[in-house]
Amino acid sequence: YSLGASKPQILWRVILPNALPEIFTGFRVAVGVSWGTLVAAELLGTSTGLGSMIFQARNFFRIDVIIVGVIIIALLGVLMDIGVRFLEAKLIPWRGKG
């Protein structure tokens, strides 16, 4: 106990607010890694989706389809990162102010 605060008060008012920035950093990394894994799995394991479209376009030398597919995948990844950053800014307004 510190300054008369109970253990739950210390958890919710001290520990969790200090841990949230690192938790969100881990979440951003996890979103990026999971997106890359999803794309790789879709390239090799399915017959539908963007990855499959790129893989099939490769067999027919359709460079235009490959480029469009890669751009769409990249844009979706960037949008997910922007979404996580926006969520982080709303939930952790004190980040970087210390």
Q: How many CB atoms lie within 10 A of CB 39?
A: 20
Q: Where are the beta strands (DSSP E) in 1-98?
A: none
Q: How confident is the model at residue 97 (pLDDT cuts 50, 70, 90)?
A: low
Q: State yes or no: pLDDT of 61 exceeds 70.
A: yes
**Residue matched to tokens 């001290």:** 14
Q: State yes or no: pLDDT of 32 exceeds 80.
A: yes
The model's pLDDT over 7-27, given as tens digits with 9 standing for 90+, comes to 999 999 989 988 999 999 999
